[in-house]
Amino acid sequence: MSKDQVEEFEVLELEEMTDDVEDTDDEATEAEGDEEVTFSAKEIASELGLTAKDFRRWLRSKTDRRANKGGRWVFTADEKADWIKAYNTKDEAAVEADAESEV
C-alpha cells in the first residue's frame, strides 16, 4: 500500500467514525425530547416574584401534597400554570383541581 493509499484509508476511517458519533448524538437528543419538562418551586417562585421559601409555605397552606423525596417540589408545565393562576387569582378551585389530579 502506498503512502497516499494509507492516508486516504485513514481519512475514510475517520469519516466513518465521525458519522457514528453524529448518529449517537441524534439518538440522545431524541431520547431527551421524550422526557417531560419539569419546574422547581424555586423557578415558579422566581416567576411570581417571591422567594422560594414563601412560595413553598403558600403551597403547603393550599394543598395536602408535599415535596418529593429529598424535599424537592417538582411540577409539570400544566401544574406550573395551574399554581401560577391560583396564586395570581387566589383561585381556590384551581388549587382543589390540582389536589384532585394528584390522587
**Most confident segment among 2-11, 17-26, 61-70:** 61-70
Domain extents in the chain: 1-35, 38-102
DSSP state of 64: S
The pLDDT assigned to 13 comes to 60
Matching residue, cell 413553598: 56
Higher pLDDT, 74 or 35: 74
Dihedral sign from CA coordinates of 91, 93, 96, 97:
negative
Burial of residue 40, with CB atoms counted within 10 A of its CB: 0-12 exposed, 13-18 middle, 19 or more buried? middle
Cα distance between residue 68 and residue 56, in whole Å: 13
DSSP 8-state class, residue 69: G
More confident residue, 11 or 87: 87
Fold (CATH) for 38-102:
Multidrug-efflux Transporter Regulator; Chain: A; Domain 2 (1.10.1660)
| Cβ atoms < 10 Å from Cβ of 62 | 18
pLDDT at 98 over 70: no
Residue found under cell 429529598? 70
Q: Residue 45, class by beta-carbon neighbours within 10 Å (0-12 exposed, 13-18 middle, 19+ buried)?
A: buried
Give residue 75's pLDDT: 94
Q: Which residue has the higher pLDDT, 67 or 24?
A: 67
